[in-house]
Amino acid sequence: MAARGSIDTTGKARRNMTVNDIDTSPLPEAAPAAPTPLTLDRLAGLTAEIAEEVRQGLHEIHFDAEERWSVRLRADDYTDVWLISWTPDQSTRLHDHAGSLGALTVVTGELVEHHWDGGLRERILAEGEGGRFPLGHVHDVVNTSTAPAVSVHAYSPPLTAMHYYEVTDGGTLRRTGSILTTDPEPDVPTLEAVPTASAEPEEGGR
């Protein structure tokens, strides 16, 4: 046996360990396992690639002043890709994408994203810029400019649900409802129409 303090065959000095030598600090929380083999970087790259196709005129775009127009461009087992147009002042409600990762790239125009980070934070997304949406990312998007905007969005796994939120008077985030949907532009005319887990059934209903 080597003497205390001598070098062992691995080249590391031996010493007696005490309880004070053990790192007892809590381990960092593990990030939630991704529900898809695609990464956020890959989704962002995909939206950038298709945004360039749109700029080259390979995909038709429509604008509707009454509601946001959208069309699905691609769909498979792992991802779906949407093209969305925004006329001035059109916006989403504060929401997340349930169990899906997401990304977007602005094709033309400019969009403003407000995302929740202990409070609402704002960032401006100009033409060619984009965002990545990990699990639990709560945000809304709005076209505050006087010109139309176009964006490409990708979700993986394909979108199946959305949760809606509001910021309370106390500055906290509160979920107001959830819907099952495969469309990032679901027809939900008012938040009151979004079912919640705590909602009481209407009289005579089931």
Is residue 55 within 8 A of residue 112, CB to CB? The reply is: no
Say if residue 22's pLDDT is above 80.
no
Is residue 93 within 8 A of residue 140, CB to CB? The reply is: yes
Q: Which of 21-25, 77-81, 109-113, 140-144 has the lowest mean pLDDT?
A: 21-25
Q: Residues 144-192: pLDDT tens digits?
A: 999 999 999 999 999 999 999 999 999 999 999 999 988 887 765 444 4
Q: What is the pLDDT of residue 24?
A: 43
Please give the Cα distance from 85 to 151 (Å, whole number).
Answer: 6
Show the CA angle centred on residue 131, arms to residues 71 and 82, nearest 5°.
10
Contacts of the segment 116-121: beta carbons below 8 A, 24+ positions apart: 116/165, 116/173, 119/171, 120/167
**pLDDT averaged over every residue in the chain:** 81
What domains sit in the chain, N to C, each tagged with a CATH number?
A: 40-184 (2.60.120.10)
Say if residue 8's pLDDT is above 90.
no
Say if residue 100's pLDDT is above 70.
yes
Q: Residues 51-99: pLDDT tens digits?
A: 999 999 999 999 999 989 999 999 999 999 999 999 999 999 999 999 9
Q: What is the pLDDT of residue 150?
A: 98
Please give the Cα distance from 121 to 116 (Å, whole number).
Answer: 6
Find all residues with CB under 8 Å of 189, minimum gap 6, and list them.
Answer: none
Say if residue 198's pLDDT is above 90.
no
Find all residues with CB under 8 Å of 140, minimum gap 6, and list them.
Answer: 91, 92, 93, 94, 95, 113, 114
* Annotation: binding site: 95, 97, 139
Q: What is the mean pLDDT of residues 3-22?
A: 40
Please give the Cα distance from 85 to 82 (Å, whole number).
Answer: 10
Q: What is the mean pLDDT of residues 202-206?
A: 35
Record the tokens describing residue 44, joined without a space: 């962002």
Q: What is the pLDDT of residue 185?
A: 72
9 or 137: which leads in pLDDT = 137
Q: Which residues of 154-183 are buried (b: 16+ CB within 10 A; e: fewer)?
A: bbbbbbeebbbbeeeeeeeeebebbbeeee
**DSSP classification of residue 47:** H
> Backbone dihedral region of 11: left (phi > 0), alpha (psi from -120 to 50 degrees) or beta?
left
Torsion of CA 99, 105, 111, 117, to 10 degrees: 40
Say if residue 13's pLDDT is above 70.
no
197 or 127: which leads in pLDDT = 127
Would you call the peptide bond into 189 cis, given omega within 30 degrees of 0 as the criterion? no
Whole-model pTM: value is 0.75
Q: What is the mean pLDDT of residues 8-20?
A: 39
Is residue 114 within 8 A of residue 125, CB to CB? The reply is: no
Say if residue 110's pLDDT is above 70.
yes
* Annotation: binding site for Fe cation: 95, 97, 139
Q: What is the pLDDT of residue 34?
A: 63
